[in-house]
Amino acid sequence: MDKNQKGNAMQNYNIYQNSALLILRVITAAIFYVAAYIKIPFWSSAPEGIPSFLLFATRVLSIAEPLGATAVLIGFLTRWAASGLTIILIGAIIVTKYVYGIGFITPTSPGWDFPLAVLAGCLVLIAFGAGKYSIDERKKSSLG
């Protein structure tokens, strides 16, 4: 493979990588938008038997999750937003496992396998950033 072919292969890789990061951002944001939407009813009435700290955390998350999702979606401070969402996901795994006693996967209910998979996506965004199709990239190119 000569230098020109290597350059073309690398250029194709960058296109695929940037597209994959964009798709990952859209999917991650959609997951957190849905998660926040489901928490909205907790503002008007709390389910019976829910501990007060979980009710408070749920209400805070109904605000924090869409903010983080929006930042990830548009690619603004993506690494910071993904870091915040990672903390939320670690909390979700801990609550699922230790408060509710649900295993990794169960035949009757969702386990903590799904939050772990989303956490992996957030770690990819922390490691690689938002990619070319983002506000972060536009800010970087306008500064340099």
- What's the average model confidence in pLDDT over 101-118? 86
34 contact partners, CB below 8 Å, separation of at least 6: none
Q: pLDDT class for 14, splitting at 50, 70, 90?
A: confident
CA torsion angle 58 88 28 60 (round to 10): 30
In terms of pTM, does the model score above 0.85? no
Bigger pLDDT: 88 or 43?
88
**pLDDT at position 51:** 81
Q: How many structural domains does the chain have?
A: 1
Residue 55 confidence (pLDDT) above 90: no
Give me the domain span that covers residue 101: 3-143
